[in-house]
């Protein structure tokens, strides 16, 4: 079984994340979106909201599920018997950063990392940009799945 973990903070999930997940569905039997919790980080959205956003966005995709975790992603992979880590790449800086993590994970666990390039129409979107637009009252709706749109 080809099982992948797609780790991230998803604060919030963006159309870039959504695109990577949708395009990876045919590649894997199961995709687990893993919301990482870092006690040092201040989040805009609660873990419950982030989980709900993702579950609602993929409600019609039985091969996609969501978990919350702390610690190393490779430990979660071992626990859930996942063979792959899925990551999206927007630009060369993402590649350099993710390459170092992938090499470390491979050395420590033999778990492969699979990279998908973001679609050109979503390659500029990041969760931090979305949060900044929201904080400043801008129209963020074209940057996120419908499930993230805040009640007005």
What's the CA gap between 32 and 25, in Å, rounded? 11
80 is in an annotated binding site: no
Asked whether residue 139 is assigned to any structural domain, the reply reads yes
Beta partners for residue 31, in sequence order: 4, 64
Asked whether residue 118 is assigned to any structural domain, the reply reads yes
Asked whether residue 88 is assigned to any structural domain, the reply reads yes
Asked whether residue 138 is assigned to any structural domain, the reply reads yes
Asked whether residue 152 is assigned to any structural domain, the reply reads no
CATH of the domain at 116: 3.40.50.620
What's the CA gap between 113 and 92, in Å, rounded? 17
88 is in an annotated binding site: yes
Q: Check 90, 99, 106, 131 and give the catalytic one.
A: 90
112 is in an annotated binding site: no
Per-residue pLDDT of the chain (152 residues; tens, 9 = 90+): 999 999 999 999 999 999 999 999 999 999 999 999 987 888 999 999 999 999 999 999 999 999 999 999 999 999 999 999 999 998 888 899 999 999 999 999 989 999 999 999 998 999 999 999 999 999 999 999 999 987 54
Asked whether residue 93 is assigned to any structural domain, the reply reads yes
Cα 128 from chain centroid (whole Å)? 13
* 41 catalytic residue (yes or no): yes
How many structural domains does the chain have? 1
Q: Nearest 5 degrees, angle CA 33-CA 34-CA 39?
A: 150
* 3 catalytic residue (yes or no): no
104 is in an annotated binding site: no
* 109 catalytic residue (yes or no): no
The range of the structural domain enclosing residue 123 comes to 3-144
């Amino acid at each position: 079984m080809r099982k992948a973990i797609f780790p991230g903070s998803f604060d919030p999930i963006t159309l870039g994340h959504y695109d990577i997940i949708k395009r990876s569905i045919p590649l894997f039997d199961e995709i687990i979106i893993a919301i990482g919790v870092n006690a040092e980080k201040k989040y805009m959205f609660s873990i419950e909201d982030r989980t709900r956003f993702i579950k609602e966005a993929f409600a019609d995709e039985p091969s996609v599920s969501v978990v919350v975790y702390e610690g190393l992603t490779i430990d979660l992979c071992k626990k859930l018997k996942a063979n792959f880590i899925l990551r999206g790449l927007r630009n060369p800086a993402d590649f350099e950063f993710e390459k170092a993590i992938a090499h470390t994970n491979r050395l420590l666990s033999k778990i492969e990392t699979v990279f998908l390039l973001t679609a050109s129409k979503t390659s500029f979107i990041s969760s931090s940009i979305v949060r900044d637009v929201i904080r400043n009252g801008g129209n963020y709706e074209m940057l996120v799945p419908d499930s993230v749109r805040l009640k007005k």
